[in-house]
Each structure stands twice: as C-alpha cells, then as structure tokens.
C-alpha cells in the first residue's frame, strides 16, 4: 500500500544533510513551504545551496535560515524583498554567494532537470552581461544562450491538498514553482493544508501526480 504521508515535520525533513542543494517553492510568501524550512532549523543542517525565486520574503522561512547562517549559496531571480534583511546582510558581508538567474530561465532550468532534458537555448539574457563567456547559437536568425539543467538533492514545496499517493492540488498562485520543482529533486517533500482520501481529488484537478512526490506532511492552518 502506498502511503506518502508522514506524521511530523521532523520525519518530513529526515535525511536532509549539510551541503545539500534544496529547491524551495514559492513566490514571495505565496506557496512557500515555511513550516518545512523552519523545521530545518531544528537539525544541525548547514552549508545549504538554496534554489528559489526570492532570497527570503518576510521574516520567516528562508529568512530564518539566512539569519541562522545555514545557507552557503542562493541561486535565485529576485533577492530583494520587502521586510527581508538577512540576505542583504550576509551578501554584503561575503557570507553567502549569489547566482542570479532570470526568472524564466530559472524555472526552465529546473523543468529541464525534471524532464530529462540536457539543456536548452533561450534568447533571454542575450546582449546582457549574463551572456559573457556563454555558449550561444543563432537559430533561424535569432541569437540564443545555452542553459543547463538545475537539479536539487531535495525539493521542498507547498500545496493545498494531497492524498496518500501524493497527488497534489494547489491553491491560487501558490502553485508557482511546485509542479516544476517536484520533478527535479532526489527527494521531494510537500507540506499541505489537508490530506484527503484517495480518489477524492478529481483526476482532472490533480496538478502534480503522486509519482513525483516522496513525502507529504499536513501542517495546521496558521502554522504555515
């Protein structure tokens, strides 16, 4: 019998080790698996490489990991966020490395990893300093940059609803990176608002199929 659900946050993050590359879902606070990120603080996990849209948003989640000096490198598209101060402090003190990636290239690199694609050409970034020293190709008269897949050891995402197979339905724009990141890591952990009986999510409404999910943990409302 397949049972992806685990009963605690500690169990959900079990095995995540120092030095891991962690894909973290969310755009601002929407879809950010705050409880899973905060759970990482309970273990002595350090030197993380974080792949996310933002480098913290508000005062929880990634912001907590940066404050507690658990992050070695951030790969993200938009590290400036209202109310977040720790990325800036760590970055200006050379305590955290930044790889800045255009947002569409970031999500497509993660998608490529999860889809078994060895890279892709995009015109995003052509003519900018991001293109310097990069492999380029002219295709049908247009210039493109080559981009490589971006894998995670772990993906931490948030969804609204899951069943015991790990089928997921999301809420509003909280979906964002979840479906893409779920496919691109060795271990994918999802925090959800509710776990429902198998079959009760209409197959037409399953956005991420359970085949991509390893662990599901329910987080009570208000503790996200």
178 CB-near residues (< 8 Å, 6+ apart): 25, 31, 157, 158, 159, 168, 170, 190, 207, 208
* Least distance (Å) between residue 122 CB and other proteins: 7
Minimum CB distance to other proteins smaller for 167 or for 224: 224
* Least distance (Å) between residue 71 CB and other proteins: 15
> Minimal CA–CA distance to 84: which of 135, 45, 26?
26
* Least distance (Å) between residue 99 CB and other proteins: 11
Binding site for other proteins (CB under 8 A): 27-31, 53, 57, 77-82, 87-88, 91, 98, 100-105, 107-108, 110-111, 122-130, 170-180, 207, 224
Minimum CB distance to other proteins smaller for 197 or for 222: 222
Minimum CB distance to other proteins smaller for 43 or for 151: 151
Minimum CB distance to other proteins smaller for 45 or for 155: 155
The DSSP secondary-structure symbol of 37 reads H
> Minimal CA–CA distance to 195: which of 173, 214, 217?
217
Q: In which residue are the tokens 């951030």 written?
A: 74
């Amino acid at each position: 019998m397949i049972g992806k659900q685990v009963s605690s946050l500690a169990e959900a993050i079990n095995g995540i080790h120092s030095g891991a590359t962690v894909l973290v879902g969310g755009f601002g606070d929407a879809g950010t698996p705050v409880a899973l990120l905060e759970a990482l603080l309970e273990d002595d996990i350090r030197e993380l490489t974080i792949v996310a849209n933002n480098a913290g948003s508000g005062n929880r989640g990634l912001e907590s990991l940066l404050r507690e000096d658990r992050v070695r490198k951030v790969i993200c598209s938009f590290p400036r966020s209202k109310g977040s101060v720790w990325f800036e402090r760590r970055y200006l003190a050379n305590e955290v490395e930044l790889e800045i990636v255009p947002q569409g290239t970031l999500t497509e690199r993660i998608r490529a990893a999860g889809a078994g694609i060895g890279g892709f050409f995009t015109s995003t970034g052509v003519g900018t300093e991001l293109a310097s020293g990069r492999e380029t190709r002219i295709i049908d008269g247009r210039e493109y940059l080559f981009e490589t897949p971006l894998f995670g050891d772990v993906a931490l995402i948030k969804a609204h609803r899951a069943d015991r197979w790990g089928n997921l339905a999301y809420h509003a724009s909280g979906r964002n990176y979840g479906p893409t990141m779920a496919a691109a890591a060795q271990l994918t952990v999802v925090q959800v608002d509710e776990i429902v009986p198998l079959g009760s999510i209409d197959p037409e409404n399953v956005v991420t199929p359970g085949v991509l999910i390893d662990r599901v943990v329910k987080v009570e409302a208000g503790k996200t």
